[in-house]
A and B are shown apart, each in its own frame.
Chain A
Amino acid sequence: MKLVTAVIQPHRLDDVKSALEAAGVRGMTVSEASGYGRQHGHTEVYRGAEYTVDLIPKVRLEVLVAAETAATVVDAIVQAATSGKIGDGKVWVVPVDDVVRVRTGEHGAGAL
């Protein structure tokens, strides 16, 4: 099993959700996040004074998938999240030892 985590532009979330549904993903966790990468935020001007806002709003999306579908899911996210501009975010995959469904107590692949 794998955990796919994506940090993306907030305005790409709807497209990414649709793409994941089309790829057969049935559940996900979405949270608001803030941060910066290479673009290092942006500037805002208030009454002529320029401020650098480095922590800018992002969305973090987490999906638990079977190991063999991880690559497909990553591709779906990357395709849907791309706007081609700096700040589009990152996607990464980590191995998961075990998953438990709280309601039934199932373990492993059955709990996905």
Chain B
Amino acid sequence: MEWDSGNAAWMLTASSLVLLMTPGLALFYGGMSRAKSVLNMMMMSFGVMGIVGVIYILWGWSMSYGTQSVGGIFNNPFESFGLSGVIYDAGGEWIEGLGAYPQIIDIAFQVTFAIITTALISGALAERVKFSAWMIFAGIWVTLAYFPMAHMVWGGGLLSGAEGSIAAALFGVDADGVANTAPIDFAGGTVVHINAGIAALVLALVIGKRRGFGRVPMKPHNLTLTMLGAGLLWFGWFGFNAGSAFAADGLAGWAWVNTTAATAAAILGWLAVERIRDGHATSLGAASGVVAGLVAITPAAGALNPVGSLVLGAIAGVACAYAVGLKYRLGFDDSLDVVGVHLVGGLVGTVLIGFLAVDGSVFFSDGHLGFGGFEQLAIQVIIALVALVFSGVITWLIAIAIKATVGWRITEESEISGIDLTEHGESAYEGIAAGRFATEGK
């Protein structure tokens, strides 16, 4: 087999870029937490790099991809346990991956997705959760929620366009057995963002608010970290989206341009809302706009034209800027707005594909403006709803099981004196900035 070394080189680079997103996320979240909790916030991401990295090798790939699908929901975890039989064949040759390079590179790419998706959830749980409970949750959640979602959408399961999928049942299949209208989730609007976003909402409800939430100021302690983190996320996201072309080709370039177009427009959208509503365009708003745009374009990066991406990004920026205020009105402590940014942005991106995709969407037909029908929109809404319900129910079951056994919350005293000190035996800063002048206890 003659490998395409250009594709192989790009996909190894893309995998490395996506892995860098998780430390980037740790900075993004760490800066938004208070000085007494920043280490725990960052450790939730680094802990996931450990636990999910190990689990992916053992049964993660096997549950996501393979030939022994269980009801189109997940693949047999023991088919290629420990990556047996998926690296090289009986003759000792590398098994081919998705793009004329060895499959082991696809495995590298996918493990990084499992890590960042699980780490995203931690933003809803800032400053109050036992590190042990979080690590147990991460291992169970990635197994019962993430791998099945990856299988359903990307592994030929229920939410793909393959034979036996929901789309195939609704719209019929063509001569190759592919659904006539297949759902579009280019890089993970459902698998990554709706999945993590609904999990964050469910956990925030089950675990409850931080002591003093809504009463004492819980403002970000270091927005320079947050902005650096947002920049690293954007950089890493090129691996995420352009890498999802599985080749170093025009589609990868298209996804790159769409990613940047949507993100740029989302920054402006978010800042416009702030300037009009609050009077100032803030640095936190710019960093948040970056992430909102990146989230929304994730499922759409290979399906929209660049102008459509600008429209999608602007809508996502505005929608998420308003959505982050909901937690105060509804009274749940989604500490760092995983719901407002990832759930809302993921839904906006996944559903707007039905209006903006260049082929067969409501506004486009064969690449040109014009009525293209509602089938794409219908299947986009369906996969979004299935993802919401599936992940929501699974997460709720895991959350109440952990609540009833090891328990989620650290003690009140620990929460007031600071989770860094009590859970990790460390503090990030010396002196007054360490935030020991706690006010929650009053």
Within 8 A of A (CB), among B335-364: 337, 340
Interface stretch (choices A40-48, A64-72, A103-111): A40-48
Which bracket fits the contact residues of A? 10 to 19
Q: 1/0 contact trace for B277-301 toward A, CB 8 Å?
A: 1111010110010000000000000
Whether A96 is near chain B, meaning CB under 8 Å from some CB there, is: no
Contact (Cβ within 8 A) A49 B325: yes
Whether A100 is near chain B, meaning CB under 8 Å from some CB there, is: no
Chain A nearest Cβ from B32, distance in angstroms:
8
Whether A23 is near chain B, meaning CB under 8 Å from some CB there, is: no
Whether B328 is near chain A, meaning CB under 8 Å from some CB there, is: yes
Chain B nearest Cβ from A84, distance in angstroms:
22
Contact (Cβ within 8 A) A47 B217: no
Interface of A is mostly: strand
Contact (Cβ within 8 A) A49 B284: no
Chain A nearest Cβ from B322, distance in angstroms:
8
Q: Which residues of A contact B274 (CB under 8 A)?
A: 45, 48
Question: Per a CB cutoff under 8 Å, which of A46, A50, A52 touches B220?
Answer: A46
A50, B328: Cα distance in complex, Å: 11
Question: Per a CB cutoff under 8 Å, which of B279, B280, B324 touches A47?
Answer: B324
When C-beta atoms are compared, the residue in chain A nearest to B285 turns out to be A47
Whether B403 is near chain A, meaning CB under 8 Å from some CB there, is: no
A45, B288: Cα distance in complex, Å: 14
Q: Which residues of A contact B325 (CB under 8 A)?
A: 47-49
Which bracket fits the contact residues of B? 10 to 19
Whether B219 is near chain A, meaning CB under 8 Å from some CB there, is: yes
Whether B321 is near chain A, meaning CB under 8 Å from some CB there, is: yes
Q: Which residues of B contact A51 (CB under 8 A)?
A: 217, 219
Q: Which residues of A contact B220 (CB under 8 A)?
A: 46
Contact (Cβ within 8 A) B280 A45: yes
A53, B437: Cα distance in complex, Å: 14
Chain B nearest Cβ from A51, distance in angstroms:
4
A45, B223: Cα distance in complex, Å: 13
Contact (Cβ within 8 A) B284 A52: no
Within 8 A of A (CB), among B296-347: 321-322, 324-325, 328, 337, 340
Q: Which residues of A contact B340 (CB under 8 A)?
A: 47
Q: Taking each of A47, A49, A50, which has the highest tally of chain B beta carbons within 10 Å of its own beta carbon?
A: A47
A53, B221: Cα distance in complex, Å: 13
A50, B282: Cα distance in complex, Å: 13
Chain B nearest Cβ from A78, distance in angstroms:
28
Contact (Cβ within 8 A) B277 A48: yes
A47, B340: Cα distance in complex, Å: 10
Q: 1/0 contact trace for B250-287 toward A, CB 8 Å?
A: 00000000000000000000000010011110101100
A6, B418: Cα distance in complex, Å: 34
- On whether A53 and B217 interact (CB within 8 A), knowing A47-B285, A48-B321, A48-B324, the answer reads yes
Q: Which residues of A contact B219 (CB under 8 A)?
A: 44, 46, 51, 53
Contact (Cβ within 8 A) A49 B280: no
Chain B nearest Cβ from A41, distance in angstroms:
10
A63, B279: Cα distance in complex, Å: 41
A51, B282: Cα distance in complex, Å: 14
Q: Which residues of A contact B277 (CB under 8 A)?
A: 48
A52, B219: Cα distance in complex, Å: 10
When C-beta atoms are compared, the residue in chain B nearest to A49 turns out to be B328
Q: Across the A-B interface, give the 10 residue pairs with the lowest CB-CB distance, nearest first.
A: A51-B217, A45-B278, A48-B325, A47-B324, A51-B219, A46-B219, A46-B284, A46-B220, A47-B284, A48-B324
Q: With contacts A48-B277, A48-B322 known, what are 13 further pairs, Cβ within 8 A?
A: A44-B219, A45-B274, A45-B278, A46-B284, A47-B284, A47-B285, A47-B337, A48-B321, A48-B325, A49-B325, A51-B219, A52-B217, A53-B219
Subset of 12 A-B contacts with CB under 8 Å: A45-B278, A45-B279, A46-B219, A47-B284, A47-B288, A47-B337, A48-B274, A48-B278, A48-B324, A50-B278, A51-B217, A52-B217
